[in-house]
Structure 1
Amino acid sequence: MMANKKPFTSAIIGTLVALSIIALVLSLVKVEDVTLPPTVKYGMVFDAGSSHTSLFVYEWDSDKENDTGVVSQTLSCDVQGPGISSYAYDPPRAGDSLRECLDKALKVVPAAKQRDVPAYLGATAGMRLLREQNSSVADQVLAEVTKTMQEYPVDFKGARILTGEEEGAYGWITINYLLDSFTEFSPKAHTWLRPEVANIFGALDLGGASTQISFVPEGSVLNQNEASKFTLYGYNYNIYTHSYLCYGQNEMLKRLAKELIVASAPSTRVCHPCYPKGYNETVRLSAFRASPCTDRSDARLPAGDSTVTLEGRGNASGCLAAVRELFNFSACGQSRDCTFDGVYQPPLRGQFIAFSAFYYNFKFLNLTEGQPLATAREAIEQLCTRSWEDLSSSYPKEDPKRLPKYCANANYILTLLLDAYKFNETSWKNIFFQMKAGSADVGWTLGYMLNLTNMIPAEAPTRVKGHMPSLWAAAITFIILTLVLGLTALLLLLWM
């Protein structure tokens, strides 16, 4: 019987030794986290701006929620027609206008996941103006939008009007999230690191009815009405953000035309220095009474609903001078911490991403590649002196309603950036005109969704990517198996 036990015992011990050696070899190989295939989640946000509406669909791996750099843009869809505020007299059309883009969104989101998709609609300056004019009509428009959204198999979270400061702050979050400015993973240290504060970008947004500036100042924001506070990835950010209602480019053009008309009254033929020579535009005076930005009660505006013809003059210096008149720079007195209209702003700091209409206007002028300020000035001046015949023949594919307004828009951007926000020849190089960061569009929508879904945690990331260092894994595995082997051998020897 003892003779039978010895070969059996030897076989068991040999097997355990072999298994221990195999385990050790395996443990020396990189040990990756073994998980089930990640579940992709989706989210969608409508940006209901003053001039148009866009839908953005985002996706991310559910096993990386509260991580960073994991949200990607799957779809962007421009809604046909004007912004939802334009449907004040026919609110149901505001909801119907969204259907085409919603149908496209459901084609990229798997049917089994659609009902779990958080969907948001945020309205900006156009609806802020409509709410000032008639709050009940603004509510009706939002109600019709909500009604349409609730017909679709998504988890609709509501439609609301953002404040200008929210719009600016969420744009700031979007930019810095996409550019990994908040936190980044260090493969060498196997941990998350916070980039230098100097690498945090400021945000410059120009829409149809408002414009926003947001950045982290050198010290604290003295005027708390202009401050937005966030705790992101374990760090506190106290940013300055201000929104200027009625200073979006479309409302600026209306205000400019109104001032030119008032100055020329009672003539019905008005010289417009910013429009190209040979271009004429006929407008009704009632159009200026339809917006709070052009002050319907302004007694200087001629009475009645007559028409006025704006005649282009192509005068570059005259255009710049007329645009500057739209700002009240004298309200700041001698204060350095002031932009215009008496609005507080701390000194600029860091680099800025200028997007939306900032980008589109300068893209038309081929000024988005970091050209110096002198080059920008020269390009704008040359554009303003070109005739309508020259422009229309040179840009046959450009929207004929947009083309004659580039001169005014470009001079407005120069005035806003240089005279109001106080960029100069040196700091001009800190402005980057772009509409994308990575594969996603720059704007407030991604920051809005990240905030409402808690995708950016307040606490610092703790989950370490990658694998456990292989030698540690080997040591732990070897110790455990050695103990097992030792105990097994001891039991067998006692049994023998």
Structure 2
Amino acid sequence: MSPRLLRMLGWGSAAVLGLLTVTVFVLVLIPAKDAVLPTKIKYGLVFDAGSTHTSLYIYRWPAHKENGTGIVSQVEGCSVAGPGISSYADNPAGAGASLKPCLDRAMKIIPAEQQRETPTYLGATAGMRLLREENSTKAEQIFAEVSKAIGEYPVDFRGAQILTGSEEGSFGWITVNYLLQTLVKFSFAEKWEHPQDTEVLGALDLGGASTQITFQPGVPVEDRNTSVFFRLYGTDYSLYSHSYLCYGQKQVLKRLVAALHQANLSAEISHPCYPQGYQENLTVAELYDSPCVQAPSSVNPDLVLSVMGTGDPAACATAVQRLFNFSCGAQWPCGFNGVYQPPVRGQFFAFSGFYHSLHFLNLTGGLSLSFVNTTIWKICNSSWEQVQELFPMASRTQRRDACTASSYTLTLLLQGYKFNYTTWPNIHFVRQVANVDVGWTLGCMLNLTNIIPSEPLTAVTELPRSIWIATTVLLAIMLILTFCLLTAMCYQRNSSGYEQL
């Protein structure tokens, strides 16, 4: 073999070995950056089947959970047309059919490949609790039909059930505190953490058939029937929570008319909370169509009653107060009707009916209790003509109930839940927080994520694009030089063979 060829082989081998060494050195010393691949997003559906209407809420959260609880956000809310499902007692199939437009909407939002693993729940509240008391068979038929309707969609339907009052109140409490970031917040260290030295907030909920109060008391809860425990984001919470059935706004308005009727059993009812000059007719059967009101046995259900407003604020306040029993006795402190309640403590968020009844009178902006009292008194002292002028865009029912609803709200908060002039500023009336409707459904979804399996984050080693390009070029050069080296070696062997011949 010629000396020139040997020198070529030597230099080629050295070049290849040198490039290999440089490449390995570069790959070892390049500062790798750990990057987390986008996590899979999971979805969940929750139907809020309330006493007056039903809504579907679409939630989502990353598959990786924080301390056992998903970081859940609301994607969209869909209002179901028509009344609450309890109103379909004589037409159960109608209850199921009413849900389908919102389910169709959800299927357009959730990716098709994830729909079958989307947990779906229907929670019914006080309206269905009342129907179950009145006629359990009809309640079961409604649940069968709504379950059938939801089961026709490609979702992971996990059942329809009636929430207990404690669950409804507690889930509302979770919603409020989650949205206000008292349970978990994103820190400057770019991770979700439990906030230190942060007081949680109480929750006040007023629906159509029940009302709930939930808060973290400063003393041990003495009645275990009102004691609730939660573990969220790695932290334990001990709460007081109670729900009063038949003290929702719709049922209270009905109970008040029934109480006025029973006072003299006359076909003409003077209503001090209705504006003076207002008049309407209704039958006894319509008035006593709820388990919250019991009709006198001697009254003909077809009898037509005439209800006339008298616009008397003092008499209105007295009539509303008669719906409560404020006596607590010596056993323990109470809210009303003898139900144990420790003293209210901390800040409270009041939503649903609490917000709507006072917002109608523009009284939700952190106003003083004296101003709120004065405004409600003026409304209750107004004539039907004046009320119509004050609220030209409102419905007839809203105008009629403006005095009654606000008077009841004030009585419930002050004499029922024992707020006063000192603690009144601690109540914040809200409909939404961070563009999310405040209610029990988000809290329910957060709680349910504790039983939804989590998936670990997937980490990869990510290199800057320029480094990848340089490395690729080096490898290409190595391959070319290796090819040249092998070609030269083959040439050497062939030349040696010729020389031997």
Q: Name the TM tier (shorter chain).
A: 0.7 to 0.9
Check the 8 A contact 1:231/1:237 in 2, yes or no: yes
- Provide the secondary structure at the position in 2 that maps to 1:220: coil
Check the 8 A contact 2:281/2:305 in 1, yes or no: yes
Aligned ranges for residues 11-22 of structure 1 at < 5 Å?
12=17, 16=21, 20=25
Deviating more after overlay: 178-187 vs 226-235: 178-187
Check the 8 A contact 2:351/2:429 in 1, yes or no: yes
Name the aligned partner's letter for residue 227 of structure 1: S
Q: 1:366 to 1:68 in 2, by over 3 A?
A: farther
CA distance in 2, matches of 1:395, 1:320: 22
2:404 maps to what in 1?
408
The answer to whether the aligner puts 1:70 opposite 2:71 as a matched pair is yes
The answer to whether the aligner puts 1:107 opposite 2:108 as a matched pair is yes
Per-residue Cα deviation, 1:91-138 (whole angstroms, up to 9, x for no partner)? 111111112222222222222322222111111001000111111111
CA distance in 1, matches of 2:420, 2:460: 49
2:417 maps to what in 1?
421
2:274 maps to what in 1?
275
Q: Which runs of 5+ in 2 are unaligned?
A: 1-5, 462-501
Check the 8 A contact 2:70/2:450 in 1, yes or no: no
Per-residue deviation, 1:280: 1.0
Aligned ranges for residues 229-268 of structure 1 at < 5 Å?
229-263=229-263, 265-268=264-267
Check the 8 A contact 1:262/1:302 in 2, yes or no: no
1:318 maps to what in 2?
315
Aligned ranges for residues 379-418 of structure 1 at < 5 Å?
379-418=375-414
Aligned ranges for residues 240-389 of structure 1 at < 5 Å?
240-263=240-263, 265-296=264-295, 298=296, 302-330=299-327, 332-333=328-329, 337-389=333-385
1:136 maps to what in 2?
137
Name the aligned partner's letter for residue 108 of structure 2: K
Check the 8 A contact 2:46/2:57 in 1, yes or no: yes
2:487 maps to what in 1?
none
Aligned ranges for residues 152-301 of structure 1 at < 5 Å?
152-188=153-189, 193-196=193-196, 198-263=198-263, 265-296=264-295, 298=296
CA distance in 2, matches of 1:47, 1:181: 24
Per-residue Cα deviation, 1:246-278 (whole angstroms, up to 9, x for no partner)? 000010001110111122x24322211111122
CA distance in 1, matches of 2:121, 2:378: 43
Per-residue Cα deviation, 1:158-184 (whole angstroms, up to 9, x for no partner)? 111111111111111122122221123
Q: 1:278 to 1:181 in 2, by over 3 A?
A: same
Check the 8 A contact 1:69/1:178 in 2, yes or no: no
CA distance in 2, matches of 1:193, 1:43: 23
Q: 1:88 to 1:3 in 2, by over 3 A?
A: closer
Deviating more after overlay: 201-210 vs 376-385: 376-385
Check the 8 A contact 1:73/1:439 in 2, yes or no: no
CA distance in 2, matches of 1:76, 1:420: 32
Q: 1:198 to 1:66 in 2, by over 3 A?
A: closer
Per-residue deviation, 1:389: 1.9
Q: 1:380 to 1:72 in 2, by over 3 A?
A: same
- Provide the secondary structure at the position in 2 that maps to 1:258: helix
CA distance in 2, matches of 1:309, 1:283: 7
Check the 8 A contact 1:191/1:464 in 2, yes or no: no
Per-residue Cα deviation, 1:433-458 (whole angstroms, up to 9, x for no partner)? 1122223211111121222232799x
CA distance in 1, matches of 2:134, 2:42: 39
Q: 1:118 to 1:456 in 2, by over 3 A?
A: closer
- Provide the secondary structure at the position in 1 that maps to 2:396: coil
CA distance in 1, matches of 2:217, 2:290: 34
Name the aligned partner's letter for residue 326 of structure 1: L
2:432 maps to what in 1?
436
CA distance in 2, matches of 1:465, 1:24: 24
Check the 8 A contact 1:66/1:455 in 2, yes or no: no
CA distance in 1, matches of 2:117, 2:458: 27
CA distance in 2, matches of 1:204, 1:143: 32
CA distance in 2, matches of 1:442, 1:162: 17
Q: 1:367 to 1:20 in 2, by over 3 A?
A: farther
Q: 1:360 to 1:305 in 2, by over 3 A?
A: same
TM-score (norm 2): 0.83
1:479 maps to what in 2?
none
Q: Which runs of 5+ in 1 are unaligned?
A: 469-496
1:94 maps to what in 2?
95
Q: 1:374 to 1:68 in 2, by over 3 A?
A: farther
CA distance in 1, matches of 2:57, 2:191: 32
2:121 maps to what in 1?
120
Q: 1:439 to 1:3 in 2, by over 3 A?
A: same
Check the 8 A contact 1:170/1:445 in 2, yes or no: yes
Deviating more after overlay: 137-146 vs 174-183: 174-183
Name the aligned partner's letter for residue 241 of structure 1: S
2:469 maps to what in 1?
none
- Provide the secondary structure at the position in 1 that maps to 2:424: helix
Equivalenced residue count is 457
CA distance in 2, matches of 1:376, 1:101: 38
Name the aligned partner's letter for residue 279 of structure 1: Y
Q: 1:291 to 1:152 in 2, by over 3 A?
A: same
The answer to whether the aligner puts 1:33 opposite 2:42 as a matched pair is no
Name the aligned partner's letter for residue 242 of structure 1: H
- Provide the secondary structure at the position in 2 that maps to 1:369: coil
Q: CA RMSD in A?
A: 3.0
- Provide the secondary structure at the position in 1 that maps to 2:242: strand
CA distance in 2, matches of 1:450, 1:351: 22
Compare CA radii of gyration and give the structure with the larger one.
2
Check the 8 A contact 2:69/2:450 in 1, yes or no: no
Deviating more after overlay: 428-437 vs 193-202: 193-202
Q: 1:139 to 1:69 in 2, by over 3 A?
A: closer
Per-residue deviation, 1:292: 1.5
CA distance in 2, matches of 1:306, 1:183: 57
Check the 8 A contact 2:124/2:160 in 1, yes or no: yes
